A = this chain, B = another copy of it.
Amino acid sequence: MIDKINYTYSLEFTVRDYECDLQGIVNNACYFHYFEHARHQYFVKNGLDFALLHKQGIDPVLTRAELEYRYPLTSGNKFIVRLSVERKSRTRIVFHQDIIRMPDERPICKAMFEAVVLKQGKLLKNDVLMDSIPHNDTGKGEE
């Protein structure tokens, strides 16, 4: 399943010990951080800057998240976060992301995030982001 997705970006990480909780494994919330950082770095790479967008009143926000936890990360692990972006409709953007432990390529977590873009709280067409970043185009323009 994972293999069928054409990921367009990947970013390397090392687990930081403070990210592990009392079970000795990375706390579930940290995966959110990893996924978010990879998305933002992908945007940076394509010339988009979240802090700058926010100052212009433009805020991409998540509307939905789905995560499948396959195997936990723990202290000392290295891993990559991969992503691909899909324009789902005029407003919705879908990120397919997963985490692969390195170097053994063990699947750790598979996720889907749906986002929209708001300007002062009002729904914006996602062109403002999508025109700048490589993505798959499945939205035919209708909502």
Residues of A bordering B, CB below 8 Å: 14, 16-18, 20-25, 27-30, 32-33, 36-37, 40-41, 44, 49-51, 54, 59, 61-69, 72, 74-76
Report, nearest first, the 5 A-B pairs whose CB atoms are least far apart.
A29-B32, A51-B75, A20-B22, A16-B37, A29-B29
Q: Collect the chain B residues with CB atoms within 8 Å of residue A23's CB.
A: 50, 54, 59, 61
Q: CB-nearest residue of chain B relative to A38? A: B16
C-alpha gap A69/B59 in the complex (Å): 14
Q: A32-B28, A67-B65 are in contact. Are A20 and B21 (CB under 8 A)?
A: yes
Q: Which residues of B contact A74 (CB under 8 A)?
A: 51
In the bound complex, residues from chain B placing their C-beta under 8 Å from that of A65 are: 28, 65-67, 69
Q: Please report the C-alpha to C-alpha distance between residue A104 and residue B27 in the assembled complex, in whole angstroms.
A: 30
